[in-house]
Amino acid sequence: MNMQARISTEVPSILEPANLKETPKHINSLSPQLCSHREMHKVCLFKSVDEDSKEALGAIIKHRKPVQKGHHFYRQSDDFVSVYVVQSGAIKTYDINENGEEHITGLYLPGELFGIDGILAGEHKYSAEALDTSAVSEINYHSLELSFRAHPDIQRWIMEILCSEIYQRQLLSQRQNSAEERLATFLTNISDRLKRRGLSPTDFSLPMSRRDIAGYVGVAAETMSRLFARFQNRGLLSVTGRAVSISDLPTLQGMSVTTH
Amino acid sequence: MNMQARISTEVPSILEPANLKETPKHINSLSPQLCSHREMHKVCLFKSVDEDSKEALGAIIKHRKPVQKGHHFYRQSDDFVSVYVVQSGAIKTYDINENGEEHITGLYLPGELFGIDGILAGEHKYSAEALDTSAVSEINYHSLELSFRAHPDIQRWIMEILCSEIYQRQLLSQRQNSAEERLATFLTNISDRLKRRGLSPTDFSLPMSRRDIAGYVGVAAETMSRLFARFQNRGLLSVTGRAVSISDLPTLQGMSVTTH
DNA sequence: CGTCACTTTGACCGATTTCAAGGCTGGTGG
DNA sequence: CCACCAGCCTTGAAATCGGTCAAAGTGACG
């Protein structure tokens, strides 16, 4: 049961960011130990952090073996111990309400940090689950916090991540926006995030089911299906299973919510 | 103007520890004016701030004269200089999109901090406007950031606020929730916050227009009007102008979104 | 007393959800 | 190798919720 086999190798999958070797030059050169092979993905993550801080981060980050789809890194109410950095794959965070309904609260791609939902209460607000085979590094939050004093860059970096989380949710909370606008926003957001990491902004594989996407975007699964069909008819993109190829990114961007 | 005790006049100044005696013991024995409650949060925003840090905060906080309804503290794209603490009244932050439509991004009541939307970019993402006559204190963010080293508590406090903002938006992005659920959530929020201040959790005055409430909750103004009427018919509450009297809080709580 | 801004109410309409059925695909076992 | 099954995805039709438009009601204030 190889999950990855299902995903077309022709389409560059965000699960297999093989073309990361073509790291754009706008991304700072990294210290050798952080540049090694499997750690390439962290480039963007640390871009706003100086050399000293990068070393400090390198010292407390713990690399873990890849996990299977369905693996949970933590569950609601677990003690907040660490934050995590996605190296490859994709992770969702979700909440189960009293009716047993699942609501997706976050979606994390390679290079992104998750798990900060525990800062406030000391325990995780949501559960975090691998959407597919994924490699994830762990950073003990206590150690991270200790490093703030010596490395204000790191503290600022965490704050930036928190602000990004606010921004992400702000985009999705625009209730007056139609379902079309929401999907357009979602797609351009993904595109942005991939581009920032040197991956193709137009061809990628969404590592999650329609239902998960729908839950994240905030529409019914059937509506999501119809929306994809509609966008395809308009020549905005083409979808084959989970592989997406955006053919008219400018129009999608025009449709999406630009809160800036 | 308004006969009923409004939220604004009931809340004491942030630096006057006058009514410390009335502090409910579950609020960590801190003066209530130093505690602030974001939506649905049981934590006091200052809960982790020690005496030293409070003094440091007192040294850099600047009190301002009350401003009229409609006053702007900052506008989109203004340089990010300060964050603000509401002493009385109510403040909304909003965004104007390219179509000229206004979208309310935040609503802040006495004791709450706003303006952090500028941290990420160095300029404010939104505009901040007084919904009513309001008194607001100002904290220069540069000074605040400088205090982080000596007072990690303060830094942690700011992080908690950021996390609260995330949670806030998370609630509002629950699109599958009906308009009824959203209003119920909003009302129980307000009720909860007032109760923690030792004010009546069932009788209060909303210091803002229906349109503002509607924009914040994410429905049309007319819908908001109908919802109030519907709730009133069901005996959940009674509304006269901006005065609200909740008669069946448990039912409202049951209807509202309770993440975790 | 008139104006203006806000609120309420009614009628209509459209987008999205819901319900229901059919189709596709990958996995499994004969 | 094929048939079948289960889960996911798509499509259709009906129902519903909330938005929009329009008009009337309310209250504050000059």
Q: Which residues of A touch B164 (CB under 8 A)?
A: 120
**Across the strands, what pairs with A86?**
A136
B99-153 pLDDT, tens per residue? 777 888 888 888 889 999 998 889 999 999 998 888 999 999 999 999 988 888 8
**Which has the minimum average pLDDT: A141-155, A163-177, B80-94, B231-245?**
A163-177
Residue B173: its pLDDT value, please?
Answer: 74
Check CB contact of B59 with chain A, cutoff 8 Å. Answer: no
Residues of A in Cβ contact (< 8 Å) with B258: 97-98
The alpha carbon of residue B35 and the mean position of all alpha carbons in its chain are separated, in whole angstroms, by 12
Long-range contacts of B97-100 (CB under 8 A, 24+ apart): B97/A257, B97/A258, B97/A259, B98/A258
Q: Residue A176 — very low, low, confident or very high, per pLDDT cuts 50/70/90? A: low
Assessment of whether the complete model's pTM goes beyond 0.85:
no
pLDDT of residue B138: 95
For residue A205, pLDDT over 90 is answered with no
Note whether A3 and A71 are within 8 A (CB): no
Q: Which residue has the higher pLDDT, A165 or B172?
A: A165
The answer, yes or no, to whether residue B1 has pLDDT greater than 60, is no
Higher pLDDT, B50 or A70: A70
- Which residue among B101, B158, B260 sits closest to A76, beta carbon to beta carbon? B260
Is the CB of residue A189 less than 8 Å away from at least one CB of chain B? no
Placement of tokens 């995903």 in the chain: A7
Residue B100 touches partner A, C-beta closer than 8 Å = no
Q: What CA–CA distance (Å, rounded) separates B82 from A174? A: 26
Condensed to tens digits (0 to 9), the pLDDT of residues B184-214 reads 999 998 888 778 767 788 998 888 889 989 9
A229: pLDDT confidence band, cut at 50, 70 and 90? very high
Exposed e or buried b per residue across A128-157, where buried means at least 16 C-beta atoms within 10 angstroms of its C-beta:
bbbbbbbbbbbbebeebbebbeebbbbbbb
Tens digits of per-residue pLDDT, A56-115? 888 889 888 888 888 899 999 999 999 999 988 889 998 887 767 788 889 998 889 999
Q: What is the pLDDT of residue B57?
A: 85
